[in-house]
C-alpha cells in the first residue's frame, strides 16, 4: 500500500495591492482593535506597508490618530532616514579618491599593471613599493 499524503497547509500570502488590503482591512480593524498607535504598528507589520501607507489606509477606515503623535512619528521617521543616508556605503572609486589611493591599486598591489586571463591582478605589491620608495630616498644625489 502507498502512504497517504497529508494535506499541506496553505502558506500565508501577503496581500498585494491597495484594493486587496482595503478589502480585508475592515475585518482586521475589528479583530485587532485597541489603541490607534498599537493598531498602526500591527497594521504595518501584518500588511507589510510603510508608515505613511498604514496611516493613510487606517485613516480611510475611520481610525483617528492624535495629531501630536503623528507629528512625532513623522519626525522620528525622517531622523531615521537621515541616519540611514549618513551610513550609505560609497563606491570603491570614491573611497580611493578620498584616501588618496590610485584607482589602479588595491589592498594587495600598489600598482596593478594588468590582469591574467583568469582575472588575477599582477603588478607591484605594497611591500615592493615601499622598498622602491626607501631606495629612492636613501640614494646619494
Is 72 in contact with 58 (CB distance < 8 Å)? no
**Residue pointed to by grid coordinates 485613516:** 59
Of residues 135 and 22, more confidently modeled? 22
136/134 Cα distance (integer angstroms):
5
Which of 110, 106, 104 lies closest to 124 in space, CA to CA? 110
The domain limits of the chain are 18-86, 92-137
Which of 15-24, 36-45, 76-85, 132-141 is the most confident on average?
36-45
How far CA 53 is from CA of 33, 80, 82, in Å, comes to 18, 17, 20
Show Cβ contacts of residue 61 under 8 Å, excluding neighbours closer than 6 positions: 22, 25, 26, 29
Question: What are the grid coordinates assigned to 104, written together?
Answer: 589602479
38/35 Cα distance (integer angstroms):
5
Among 86-90, 105-109, 118-122, 124-128, which stretch is predicted with the lowest mean pLDDT? 86-90
Instruction: Please give the pLDDT value at position 71.
Output: 92
Instruction: Please give the pLDDT value at position 9.
Output: 60
Instruction: Please give the pLDDT value at position 102.
Output: 66
Give 23-81 pLDDT, tens digit per residue.
888 888 888 878 888 888 888 888 888 888 889 889 888 888 889 999 998 998 888 87
Amino acid at each position: 500500500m502507498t502512504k497517504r499524503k497529508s494535506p499541506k497547509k496553505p502558506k500565508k500570502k501577503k496581500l498585494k495591492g491597495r484594493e486587496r488590503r482595503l478589502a480585508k482591512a475592515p475585518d482586521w480593524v475589528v479583530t485587532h482593535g485597541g489603541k490607534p498607535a498599537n493598531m498602526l504598528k500591527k497594521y504595518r507589520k501584518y500588511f507589510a506597508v510603510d508608515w505613511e501607507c498604514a496611516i493613510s489606509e487606517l485613516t480611510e477606515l475611520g481610525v483617528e490618530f492624535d495629531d501630536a503623535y503623528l507629528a512625532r512619528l513623522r519626525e522620528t521617521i525622517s531622523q531615521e532616514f537621515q541616519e540611514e543616508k549618513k551610513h550609505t556605503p560609497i563606491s570603491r572609486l570614491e573611497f580611493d579618491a578620498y584616501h588618496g589611493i590610485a584607482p589602479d591599486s588595491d589592498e594587495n598591489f600598489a600598482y596593478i599593471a594588468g590582469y591574467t586571463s583568469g582575472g588575477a591582478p599582477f603588478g607591484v605589491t605594497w611591500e615592493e613599493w615601499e622598498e622602491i620608495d626607501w631606495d629612492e630616498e636613501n640614494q646619494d644625489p
